[in-house]
Amino acid sequence: MDERAARSLRQDRASLAIALNSAALDLSTQRVRLFAILSWTSLVNLCCSRDSAFQAAMEKEWAEPEGSDTSYSKLRSDAGGILYDLCLCRFMDSAITFFRDAVAIGLVLDPAPLRSHTKTITHKEVLGFPSLDDLVASLAVRKSEELAHDDFGLVRYCAEELRMPVFASDTERLKVKTAIRTRNILVHNGGRIDARYTKALDLDASLIDTKVTLGSEELTDWVDLLEACCGRVQAHLSSLWRERFPEDPAAVAVSEQEGSSDGASVGMAVEDRPA
């Protein structure tokens, strides 16, 4: 491989590392926003319950839509559940993006799963890449994008096919699966439980056609767990990257935030070193 092709390959690998780093950063950002929103709503509820003058002022400022009989008190009582749903969906989107990028890097590091699960490609497609490594990188990205359509299937692929330390226990696995399935029910079925949901989570069929309910503690638990899972995966990939590409200028380094001891706040940073 000539120097120009090698440089191009290093840049492609660096792009994958940067994508995962960006996904991890977005995950942390969404977590901070989520808890800020929950803290603010809790503060408003507390003030309304403790000070009738405060609630009266909020009622006065509430601009009721024309033709609506919704009071501020009714809106406030409904807001908690709506915010929990929205926060879960937004955070889960960031988590799925992270796992999609993690699969791409995992397959670049170990392309063995591509050999038996990738669709047939033509000789023309193969010869269109300057090297085998470039072909592997392209197939890895393609596979990760295909898997992203099945949210929990994507996470399961990381854990089972790529042997990433996603889950520390079967309990964590079930919680992550429940969080993802709940997000899908909220987005695609208006929060109404269907047979697929009960079957996937081994729940009683009597729950079908009822509305899924999400509480603050449950949401917080899922968010903390997902961030911890992503942190473990990120640390694992960073270690493998250094072993696989020790000479790569786009080496991936692990940088833990101060005070982090559980691997949840781990970042992959691209180091720009001269070739």
Digit-coded pLDDT (tens) for 133-158: 777 888 888 899 999 888 899 999 99
Amino acid at 93: D
Sign of CA dihedral 154, 156, 157, 163: positive
Q: What pLDDT band is residue 123 in, cutting at 50, 70 and 90?
A: low
Contact call for residues 107 and 139 (beta carbons, < 8 A): yes
Stronger pLDDT, 165 or 261, i.e. the higher one: 165
pLDDT surpasses 80 at 275: no
Q: What pLDDT band is residue 274 in, cutting at 50, 70 and 90?
A: very low
| Three-class SS state of 253 | strand
**Domain parsing of the chain, residue ranges:** 3-58+73-270
Stronger pLDDT, 191 or 63, i.e. the higher one: 191
Question: Residue 86 is encoded by which pair of tokens?
Answer: 């929205």
Digit-coded pLDDT (tens) for 37-74: 777 777 777 777 787 787 777 666 665 555 555 555 55
CA dist list (Å): 156 to 7, 96, 105, 130, 180: 33, 12, 16, 32, 12
Q: Please tell me the distance from the alpha carbon of residue 156 to that of residue 188, in angstroms, as a whole number.
A: 21
Q: Please tell me the distance from the alpha carbon of residue 191 to that of residue 209, in angstroms, as a whole number.
A: 9
Helix H or strand E segment including 252: strand 252-256
- 192: phi then psi, degrees, rounded to nearest 5: -90, 125
Contact partners, residue 193, CB within 8 Å, separation at least 6: 185, 203, 207, 208, 209, 210, 211, 212
- Residue (of 163, 227, 202) closest to 24 by Cα position: 227
Any idea which of 73-77, 105-109, 266-270 has the lowest mean pLDDT? 266-270
Check residue 20 and give its pLDDT: 81
Q: What pLDDT band is residue 84 in, cutting at 50, 70 and 90?
A: confident
Q: Please tell me the distance from the alpha carbon of residue 32 to that of residue 19, in angstroms, as a whole number.
A: 20
Q: Please tell me the distance from the alpha carbon of residue 142 to that of residue 220, in angstroms, as a whole number.
A: 33
Token match 């000479």: residue? 247
CA dist list (Å): 146 to 80, 100, 140, 178, 229: 35, 9, 10, 22, 21
Q: Please tell me the distance from the alpha carbon of residue 191 to that of residue 85, in angstroms, as a whole number.
A: 9
pLDDT surpasses 60 at 92: yes
Q: What pLDDT band is residue 267 in, cutting at 50, 70 and 90?
A: very low
